[in-house]
Structure 1
Amino acid sequence: MSTFPTSVTCTSLSFAWPDGTPVLQDLQVSFGPGRTGLVGANGAGKSTLLKLLAGELAPGDGTVHVTGEVAYLPQNVTLDTALRVDEVLGVSAARAALHAIEAGDAAEEHFAAVGDDWDVEERAEAVLGELGLGGIGLDRTVGELSGGESVLLRLAALLLRRPDVLLLDEPTNNLDLYARRRLYAAVEAWSGVMVVVSHDRELLDLVDQIAELHSGEVSWYGGNFSAYEEALAGEQEAAERMMRVAESDLRRQKRELADAQVKLARRRRYGQKMYEQKREPKIVMGARRRAAQESAGKHRILHEERLVEARERFDEAALAVRDDDEIRVDLPHTAVPPGRTVLTLRDLELRYGARVRGGFDLRGPERVALIGRNGAGKTTLLRTIAGELAPVSGEARTEVPTRFLPQRLDVLDEELTVAENVARFAPGATNNRIRARLARFLFRGARADQRAATLSGGERFRATLAALMLAEPAPQLLMLDEPTNNLDMASVRQLTAALESYEGALIVAAHDVPFLESVGITRWLLLEGGEVTETTAEAVARPA
């Protein structure tokens, strides 16, 4: 690594999309040594900022200054399936030259290609081993690897370069529990500058500080994500107190202004009465009336100014209180009586080799977590239960209305609005009923008229969930496939709240153990080696 102090500094950084939509405006931020978790709502600009730091995007204005070498792991890793592992790692040329020299070819270009890197193979294999990829070998192709292995391979390529700055964008997306543990270990061992964008609580609890991108500015919090949540909760409690105080002061100033206006009116009536009765010389009464009016006018102006100041203090305090609206899914027709059979699986053999031997029954409002390595067949099992795929043999029978939320969120028609998409699933519902229910999913007023194509990631998820939950008949078995992928922490909290209020049966395929625990899982199913077996939360938390 570089011997110079490593840092990443953004000065007056601005960026807008080609259509003019602003993302960042005059941002000032600097990242120094240590692990930084970059958090914020969907659409705040986190991924865009990482791309600017990595040089993948050019700023519209301002500068990005980096000391040292930067390595960047994008959110969606795509690798050419024909590439060999050593080509992805960037060591194929040196490795080929090394093999040529060992075979007796002393050509000068081979020595130039190797340089001082005579242990290139050992280093590459060591990095692969640290990430749990020690068994894949350097000669295999990317096409032979799973999606999770491809992500770890790309990370291995970055680590092998020994960069000074490592930028990670949602690195645990699509990683199974075992791969996540390997990535966590790599993050813990990192000693340079790291900036990681993630919704993974376990990963964010490994960082040294949190940088929150909110309303175009970065706020810093020492400690990991749990410490950040505590600090934020304290800030919000103080902000709510300040808002209550400002609101009370605003009401008092309104009363005092009203009282001042009443007193002024009384004085005017009294002065007019005295003037009409001519109890004193006209010039004296006129002077008194003018003095009273001036005094009352100054008094009124003073109260009006105080009212304006009180309103400004209230508005400022209200801005500091965040909108933490939660989705509500307390729909009566989703409830399942305890003991009622919801799902029956009998000697089920799936496509691609997975199977459920014997029988499996889901009864009442049980909550099942479906876990397993990438490629084990979790999505195939859910699609078979949903009726999208036919089993090779055996039976998968649902006894209640069922809905399936896929990873790709491709349920919506891009050209239709949110309300129109929901209407597709509930053709018998009136427009007023649809809009009233959409409000529970935070689509109020004009937001329900947004076209699906314009929705952010979090909005798309809420719209898809709304379409499925508001369908007729209402689903009493809801199946979710990796629902927290690409959701920010606020959206994950909203989803958790929604599932807490859902009264039907639930099956969730996910690698996010804290999320699974937060939604009250009652049974854990492990899909491994083509077999489905029951396990425990404790066993899941400590995968081999």
Structure 2
Amino acid sequence: MSISIVVDHVSFAWPDGTTVLDGLDAAFPAGRTGLIGLNGSGKSTLLRVIARELTPASGSVSVRGVVGYLPQNLPLAAGRSVSDLLEIGRVRAALHAIEAGDVAEENFAAVGDDWDVEERARAELDRLGLRHVGLDRTVGTLSGGETVMVSLAARLLKRPDVLLLDEPTNNLDLDARRRLYDAVSAWQGVLLVVSHDRALLELVDQIAELREGSVRMYGGNLTSYEEQAEAEQQAAERSVRTAEGEIRRRRRELVDSAIRIDRGQRYGRKAFENKKVPKMVAGALKRKAQVSAGKQRALHAERLEEANERLSEAEQAVRDDAEIRIELPGTEVPAGRTVLTLPLEPRSAPAESPDDGPDDGPDDGSGAGPAVGRVAVLETLVVRGPERIALLGPNGSGKTTLLKRIVAHGAHVPLRYLPQRLDLLDDRLSVVDNVRAMAPSASVNEVRARLARFLFRGDRAGQAVGTLSGGERFRATLAALLSAEPPPQLLLLDEPTNNLDLASVRQLAQALSAYRGALIVASHDLPFLEELGITRRLRQDRDEGLAES
């Protein structure tokens, strides 16, 4: 298998001195590779180094061919056109000028060999399910998912040899995800993708895990990796138990040896005291016994030290992915209490066709199943008690808009909103200072204790938010929201799993199980919603409004 990307002893640190990569060596083969690892392990940074967006402090990267890179957080300019996002705006303008009779040399230079650029762009957008998106449409009118797919089309238009994707399914509804899966399956070049999307990771040829500063390759897809990792985990745990048993045995041997030596010394003293041996002989025996005892103690101590080293090595091989813990009694909402009443824009649902059966309606990509399964369009959104509501719907249907309307309208209880772009915190301030800004009455020690439950311990709590990874930033934002004064009894989450690694998604679901307030979660991550214990599903539609599902 040929190697397409070589990372040779690469180190990188942020300007504040935070080290992300330290002498990293890695080699990525041809084919599709899924890059996984805990949040903060350096996955996104590594992609940016490979894409030459970041320059390493030391080491080098070599890549065979042209690189196309789709970042996790796309730089957006709402006034730009889709053509600009596709990076064909200048060529289109020149083409249109030539068609209008302007034969200036600079127009022909701008077009070059791209006379069919509009047709190719249109074909790429259509293939990715964006037939409805015009080339002159402004970026500000696109949903987050549509923006991601247009940006992917831009990369594919350049026909790269190597494609780097950082969490490409963020913000995508189920239908868009399926089209992206198809594009990945059909990709013939080299692909390196950072993702927590299980379905996407099932399509790769190998998994690369970035853990504790090194990359390890596993053949096969995510399922194969998990089987191998579980086998390694079990072997590591057995090694720990064996090492612990050896330490207990070595300690007993050390104690037994000390007892034997003490008995021998007491016997020698008694023999001398009872005149059984001459003083000179007794002295020689004593010196010999002391030398022997010293050697025995040193030998047993050395064996115990070796056993401790083997235990330390065995413990390092055991995976210990800490869990987020939430203890917030102040967020509890009594059953039946009305926490939100929001009047909705009056809309009427179209009549169902008499030919539509109960199970044969098309899946709209919202995760809500066939459209004919909806009960009724809502005129007022009422949330009572500690409900857990899933807000479903395709990209561009208005889920984020609805959440923002709830924030603007207000609720009957304290509420907090976690947006997709995680822009609530001040990048210049530390995690501690950001939390204190939302909880001014809490002491520094109280804030640090809370942050420890969100896995920010020691120096990590003092790190500037601007240097955090996407998943770390999410944890910091969630910690700030849930520590806010007063404690939120209604929590609005917009695609909360977007920037989280596989372990963190599981941890977040476990953590939110301890939250006793009401939840409204907009998400396309169906396994995550199932883990949350959703009690009610609502579907947002572009034309019909909000409906029970």
TM-score bucket (shorter structure): 0.7 to 0.9
**CA distance in structure 2 between the partners assigned to 1:95 and 1:518 by the alignment:** 48
**1:73 to partner: Cα distance:** 1.3
Query: Secondary structure at the residue paired with 1:486?
Result: coil
Matched residue, 2:135? 138
Query: Secondary structure at the residue paired with 1:501?
Result: coil
User: Structure 1's 426 and 250: CA in aligned 2 closer, same or farther, altered over 3 A?
Assistant: same
Matched residue, 1:154? 151
**1:123 to partner: Cα distance:** 2.3
Query: Secondary structure at the residue paired with 2:290?
Result: helix
Matched residue, 1:263? 260
- 1:292 corresponds to which of 275, 282, 289: 289
User: Structure 1's 457 and 96: CA in aligned 2 closer, same or farther, altered over 3 A?
Assistant: closer
**CA distance in structure 1 between the partners assigned to 2:466 and 2:89 by the alignment:** 42
Query: Secondary structure at the residue paired with 1:128?
Result: helix
**1:524 to partner: Cα distance:** 1.7
Alignment of 1:68-79 (within 5 A): 68-78=65-75
Moved more, 7-16 or 126-135: 7-16
Matched, 1:247 2:244: yes
Matched residue, 1:501? 514
**1:211 to partner: Cα distance:** 0.6
User: Structure 1's 532 and 517: CA in aligned 2 closer, same or farther, altered over 3 A?
Assistant: farther
Matched, 1:318 2:339: no
Encode CA deviations 1:24-62: one digit per residue, 9 max, x unaligned: 233221222211111112222212211221122233332
Matched residue, 1:482? 495
Is the Cα contact below 8 Å between 2:30 and 2:189 reproduced in 1?
yes
Matched residue, 1:58? 55
**CA distance in structure 2 between the partners assigned to 1:418 and 1:214 by the alignment:** 23
**1:273 to partner: Cα distance:** 2.8
Q: How many residues align?
A: 521
**1:282 to partner: Cα distance:** 3.2
Scaled by the length of structure 2, the TM-score of the pair is 0.82
User: Structure 1's 192 and 342: CA in aligned 2 closer, same or farther, altered over 3 A?
Assistant: same
**CA distance in structure 1 between the partners assigned to 2:454 and 2:92 by the alignment:** 55
Matched residue, 1:393? none
**CA distance in structure 1 between the partners assigned to 2:479 and 2:110 by the alignment:** 57
**CA distance in structure 2 between the partners assigned to 1:323 and 1:492 by the alignment:** 15
Encode CA deviations 1:120-152: one digit per residue, 9 max, x unaligned: 433222111111222333344445544433332
Matched residue, 1:190? 187
Matched residue, 2:199? 202
Matched residue, 1:7? 4
User: Structure 1's 254 and 334: CA in aligned 2 closer, same or farther, altered over 3 A?
Assistant: same
Matched residue, 2:523? 510
- 1:358 corresponds to which of 374, 379, 387: 379
Is the Cα contact below 8 Å between 2:8 and 2:60 reproduced in 1?
yes
In structure 1, stretches of 5+ residues that fail to align are: 351-355, 391-395, 537-544
**CA distance in structure 2 between the partners assigned to 1:340 and 1:118 by the alignment:** 63
Matched, 1:370 2:370: no
Matched residue, 2:372? none
**CA distance in structure 2 between the partners assigned to 1:452 and 1:100 by the alignment:** 47
Alignment of 1:73-92 (within 5 A): 73-78=70-75, 83-91=80-88
**CA distance in structure 2 between the partners assigned to 1:420 and 1:249 by the alignment:** 47
Query: Secondary structure at the residue paired with 1:342?
Result: strand
Moved more, 424-433 or 118-127: 424-433
Encode CA deviations 1:99-127: one digit per residue, 9 max, x unaligned: 67777888988777766655443322211
**1:303 to partner: Cα distance:** 0.7
Is the Cα contact below 8 Å between 2:378 and 2:545 reproduced in 1?
yes
**CA distance in structure 2 between the partners assigned to 1:172 and 1:498 by the alignment:** 23
**CA distance in structure 1 between the partners assigned to 2:296 and 2:540 by the alignment:** 77
Matched residue, 1:328? 325
Matched, 1:441 2:454: yes
**1:212 to partner: Cα distance:** 0.8
Matched residue, 1:229? 226
Is the Cα contact below 8 Å between 1:415 and 1:452 reproduced in 2?
yes
User: Structure 1's 64 and 298: CA in aligned 2 closer, same or farther, altered over 3 A?
Assistant: same
- The aligned amino acid for 1:244 is R
Query: Secondary structure at the residue paired with 1:173?
Result: coil
Query: Secondary structure at the residue paired with 2:513?
Result: helix
Is the Cα contact below 8 Å between 1:422 and 1:470 reproduced in 2?
yes
**CA distance in structure 1 between the partners assigned to 2:493 and 2:37 by the alignment:** 24
**1:420 to partner: Cα distance:** 6.2
Matched residue, 1:127? 124
- The aligned amino acid for 1:366 is E
Moved more, 414-423 or 356-365: 414-423
Matched, 1:308 2:321: no
**CA distance in structure 1 between the partners assigned to 2:397 and 2:297 by the alignment:** 75
**CA distance in structure 2 between the partners assigned to 1:173 and 1:86 by the alignment:** 22
**1:246 to partner: Cα distance:** 1.3
Query: Secondary structure at the residue paired with 2:379?
Result: strand
User: Structure 1's 94 and 332: CA in aligned 2 closer, same or farther, altered over 3 A?
Assistant: closer
Encode CA deviations 1:414-444: one digit per residue, 9 max, x unaligned: 6776566656656677777666555443445
**CA distance in structure 2 between the partners assigned to 1:100 and 1:437 by the alignment:** 61
Matched residue, 2:536? 523
- 1:33 corresponds to which of 30, 33, 47: 30
- 1:22 corresponds to which of 1, 19, 22: 19
Matched, 1:380 2:405: no
Is the Cα contact below 8 Å between 2:378 and 2:548 reproduced in 1?
no
User: Structure 1's 101 and 200: CA in aligned 2 closer, same or farther, altered over 3 A?
Assistant: same
User: Structure 1's 5 and 434: CA in aligned 2 closer, same or farther, altered over 3 A?
Assistant: closer
Matched, 1:281 2:278: yes
Encode CA deviations 1:486-518: one digit per residue, 9 max, x unaligned: 223332222111012223321112233332222
Query: Secondary structure at the residue paired with 1:479?
Result: strand
**CA distance in structure 1 between the partners assigned to 2:181 and 2:426 by the alignment:** 38
Moved more, 53-62 or 416-425: 416-425
Is the Cα contact below 8 Å between 2:378 and 2:547 reproduced in 1?
no
Encode CA deviations 1:299-333: one digit per residue, 9 max, x unaligned: 21111111110110111111112222212235444
Matched residue, 2:420? 407
Is the Cα contact below 8 Å between 2:272 and 2:278 reproduced in 1?
no
Scaled by the length of structure 1, the TM-score of the pair is 0.83
Moved more, 205-214 or 322-331: 322-331
Is the Cα contact below 8 Å between 2:390 and 2:534 reproduced in 1?
yes
Moved more, 5-14 or 137-146: 137-146
Moved more, 513-522 or 315-324: 513-522
- The aligned amino acid for 1:36 is T
**CA distance in structure 1 between the partners assigned to 2:166 and 2:300 by the alignment:** 53
**CA distance in structure 2 between the partners assigned to 1:101 and 1:230 by the alignment:** 59
User: Structure 1's 469 and 95: CA in aligned 2 closer, same or farther, altered over 3 A?
Assistant: closer
